Homo-oligomer: A and B are copies of this chain.
Amino acid sequence: MEEIRIAILGHRFMGRAHSNAWLQAPRFFDLPYKPVLQVACGRDTDSLQAFADRWGWAEIETDWRKLLERDDIDAIDIALPTHLHAETAIAAAEAGKHIFCEKPFCNSTAEAEAILAAAEKAGVVHYLNHNYRRCPAVTLAKKLIDEGEIGEIYHWRGAYQQSWLTNAEYPVDWKLKKATAGAGPLWDLGSHAVDLAHYLVGDFKEISCRGKQFISERPLASDPSQMGEVEVECAALMTGEFQNGALATIETTRYATGQKNRHTFEIYGSKGSMTWDMQDMNRLQFYSTSDAEHASGFRDILVTERCHEYVNAWWPPGHIIGYEHGFVHAAVDFLQAIKDGKGITPDFHDGVRIMKVLDAALESMDGSGGPIAIS
């Protein structure tokens, strides 16, 4: 079988999740190419070698630019911190490499457009890893919408809630600094939430945002006896309107005590409704107005049947899958996109769409708090 040789940039949390995806994809799915874990790239040689050994990357490399010069690398997997995406993605595109890029896409609309332009010019396959789209329950939600089961959409009520910052001892790390993180939960969690809204409802017409700092000083990571400034918001509340007229609320926070990683949406339409929560990712709640009135209610669909997309490759009905499986599905579709010479979504076009919304939200949050039109 023909191979697609991959080089990965980054070897922390997302380095693990991506490596696992490349390894699991060919076990459970029939692929058009054999993915080869060729090079792991990073700066700290020791930890990089340990990573490569553990995950089966054939080589290590500390200078990512060298990878781009190699003919035996077909795809670049960018699993780096956000502020390093633009430079690496543009160079990879210019070198003609297919790109599998972790989210958030980048730190501004301008950056996003530059990355997209480079990828489009090069004609490579480009994928932005908003993995939640490939949870089978979310894929089913999209299918139900496309089949007309929801009708005209009135409401998107979304939230992405975490709680790790309620710990006042948590230090000022890179996630709480503007230069490295861009923004707080608006960026980190909001990019996921906005992508799902794009996927399931469509483009935004305008957005408003209200942010807040609950704890503005925290111990320095370097010296916990000293306090440093938290530069980003602790929570951000968006409301908006889609181009198709639906309304949206999107709440993002790191201060929702008791919510570990609740990424949830409610969609209400003229013919039906749906709700979902990432923490119970194998289930989709679906209400249909076509049910008999006396027997209508939200159906609790366990999305593990053979007819559900991606599911057949795993286990029998009723056997659930977990967080990392969405990454595997993305790897599968990415390889298929290369084979087909077609695109895959979400891609860098979607990245630009997301950044426009987040930039507008940031403008609203830092400014009047009123609505900002999305161009």
Given A155-B255, A369-B208, residue A245 in contact with residue B214 (CB < 8 A): yes
B318 close to A324 (CB less than 8 A): no
For A162, list chain B residues within 8 Å (CB). Answer: 318
Which chain B residue has the least Cβ–Cβ distance from A255? B154
**A49 contacts partner chain B, Cβ-Cβ < 8 Å:** no
B371 close to A371 (CB less than 8 A): no
**A180 contacts partner chain B, Cβ-Cβ < 8 Å:** no
**A210 contacts partner chain B, Cβ-Cβ < 8 Å:** yes
A237 close to B235 (CB less than 8 A): no
Interface-located stretch among A77-85, A108-116, A194-202, A285-293:
A285-293
Interface residues on A, range: 35 or more
| Interface residues in A293-316 (C-beta closer than 8 Å to B) | 293-302, 304-305, 307-308, 314-316
Please report the C-alpha to C-alpha distance between residue A323 and residue B311 in the assembled complex, in whole angstroms: 12
B258 close to A273 (CB less than 8 A): yes
A308 close to B294 (CB less than 8 A): yes
Which chain B residue has the least Cβ–Cβ distance from A159? B157
Write the nearest CB–CB distance from A120 to chain B, whole angstroms. Answer: 33
Please report the C-alpha to C-alpha distance between residue A269 and residue B259 in the assembled complex, in whole angstroms: 11
A256 close to B155 (CB less than 8 A): yes
**A281 contacts partner chain B, Cβ-Cβ < 8 Å:** yes
For A273, list chain B residues within 8 Å (CB). Answer: 256-259
Given A237-B247, A255-B155, A322-B319, residue A307 in contact with residue B294 (CB < 8 A): yes
Given A258-B272, A318-B262, residue A286 in contact with residue B297 (CB < 8 A): yes
Interface-located stretch among A20-28, A92-100, A334-342, A351-359:
A20-28
A257 close to B270 (CB less than 8 A): yes
For A169, list chain B residues within 8 Å (CB). Answer: none
For A19, list chain B residues within 8 Å (CB). Answer: 27
| 25 chain-A/chain-B pairs, Cβ below 8 angstroms | A13-B316, A20-B27, A23-B23, A143-B294, A149-B295, A155-B251, A155-B256, A157-B159, A163-B268, A208-B239, A235-B247, A237-B239, A239-B239, A256-B273, A257-B273, A258-B296, A258-B298, A261-B316, A279-B302, A280-B320, A286-B295, A291-B299, A319-B323, A321-B322, A321-B323
> Using a CB–CB distance below 8 Å, which chain A residues touch chain B?
13, 16-17, 19-20, 23, 26-27, 54-55, 140, 143-144, 149, 152, 154-155, 157, 159, 161-164, 166, 208, 210, 212, 214, 234-235, 237, 239-241, 245, 247, 249, 251, 253, 255-262, 266, 268-273, 278-289, 291, 293-302, 304-305, 307-308, 314-325, 368-371
4 closest A-B pairs by CB: A261-B318, A260-B318, A258-B287, A370-B370
